[in-house]
Amino acid sequence: MEFSASQIAGILLGEVVGNPETTVNGLAKIEEGTLGALSFLANPKYEEFIYTTGSSVCIVNRSFSPSKPLPSTLTLVLVDDPYACFAKLLDMYSQMTRKQAAIEQPSFISDSAQIGEGLYLGAFAYVGHNVKIGNNVSIYPNAYLGDNVVIGDGSVVHPGACIYNDCVVGKNCIIHAGVVVGADGFGFAPNEEGEFQKVPQIGNVILEDNVEIGSNSTIDRATMGSTIIRKGVKIDNLCQIAHNVEVGKNSAMAAQVGIAGSAKIGENVMIGGQAGIAGHLHIANGTKIVAQSGIPNSVKKADTLMGSPGIPIDDFKKSYFGFRKLPYILKKLQELEQRMKELTKPNE
């Protein structure tokens, strides 16, 4: 699909500098732009590429002032926030390329399932008993929806995702390939013989609206009640959310984060990759946890934590500086110890 610079400016409430009739039919990074591509410049360190880019249209900040001549083929669209505006265009592009409504065969839909308008259901997908699917939902091939699952309007379930029985997915959620929502929590109790007895997991998982779950992440069902992922949460690939966890709205976590059972994560919390959070604790709203940190205790006040166990990042940096000096300090201590021995050695 083709758009002119003036049409793009209209969508973004921007201003055209150059030829308003210049057209684009694709998106590209500014350093890789070619004729007919739309790019954006938000980070000043990439400014050098705008003077050599082959893109036809580039979205820039209203305050942008070229320090060199721009390519004669380049038209600018001036906006308040180039990154946000480009993200808006990407979202529009994604919406336009979504699968059209269709039910491919072979697939299975239970007679008791309730299906909204505009459903795309890929081949080999399974829709169980009493499932409720809203309007304009896309469910890709080999996806599984267990009995009593609810999928809200506009949500997308990518290939191979598995949503166990009784789980609820809100509106405009995105569940990527290989995600498992609602598998049993890790609940076992040793019996008199020391063998592990499975504790039945009879709860469910609730994803509120606008949640996105990255590929191959897992969210376990509650032992009782619900594991809850609040509105707007973003979870990267390969994350593990255990039973009865609650993640507050608009929080985000990078790949390989693990959250143990019954932990309560506040709102607007950011968790770096490979961080681990122990069970049954609370993380305050607005907390930031640096990658590979371990959090064994509750965080009562918002802070940026680093290390294992996680401590305030400034304290960690000071401690790390001291840790790096340990070999030097130990060497000096050994030298002093040897010197003391020599000084205290009896005269022969």
- Does one domain contain both 131 and 77? no
HSE-up of residue 314 (Cα within 13 Å, Cβ side):
1
Task: Give per-residue pLDDT as tens, 66-89.
Answer: 999 999 999 999 999 999 999 998
Question: For the segment 225-257, what is each residue's pLDDT rounded down to a tens digit?
Answer: 999 999 999 999 999 999 999 999 999 999 999
Average of per-residue pLDDT across 135-143:
97
In the chain, how many domains are there?
A: 3
In sequence order, the β-bridge partners of residue 10 are: none
Kindly name the residue from 158, 243, 280, 282 that is annotated as catalytic.
Answer: 243
Residues 109 and 173 reside in one and the same domain: yes
Residue 103: helix, strand or coil by DSSP?
strand
Spatial separation of the C-alpha atoms in residues 47 and 64, rounded to whole Å = 10
Q: How far is CA 20 from CA 5, 30, 37, 40, 53, in A?
A: 5, 19, 15, 16, 18
Are residues 318 and 272 located together in one domain of the fold?
no
Residues 91 and 140 in one domain: no
Summarize pLDDT for 256-310 with one digit per residue, the tens: 999 999 999 999 999 999 999 999 999 999 999 999 999 999 999 999 999 999 9
pLDDT digits (tens, 9 = 90+) for 22-61: 999 989 999 999 999 999 999 999 999 999 999 999 999 9
**What number of other Cβ atoms are within 10 A of residue 212's Cβ?**
18
Residue 243 is a catalytic residue: yes
Whether 136 and 280 share a structural domain: yes
- Same domain for 115 and 264, yes or no, is yes
Domain with 59, as residue range(s), is 3-96
For residue 13, what is the domain's CATH number?
A: 3.40.1390.10
Q: Residue 345 pLDDT > 80, yes or no?
A: no
Which amino acid makes up residue 112? S
Note whether 219 and 229 are within 8 A (CB). yes
Residues 222, 190 within the same domain: yes
In a shared domain, residues 306 and 326: no
Residues 155 and 204 in one domain: yes
Q: Name the pTM for this structure.
A: 0.84
CATH code where residue 298 lies: 2.160.10.10
**Residue 182: closest CA among 223, 237, 124:** 223
Is it the case that residue 94 has pLDDT exceeding 90?
Answer: no
Specify the pLDDT at position 302.
96
Same domain flag for 197 and 84: no
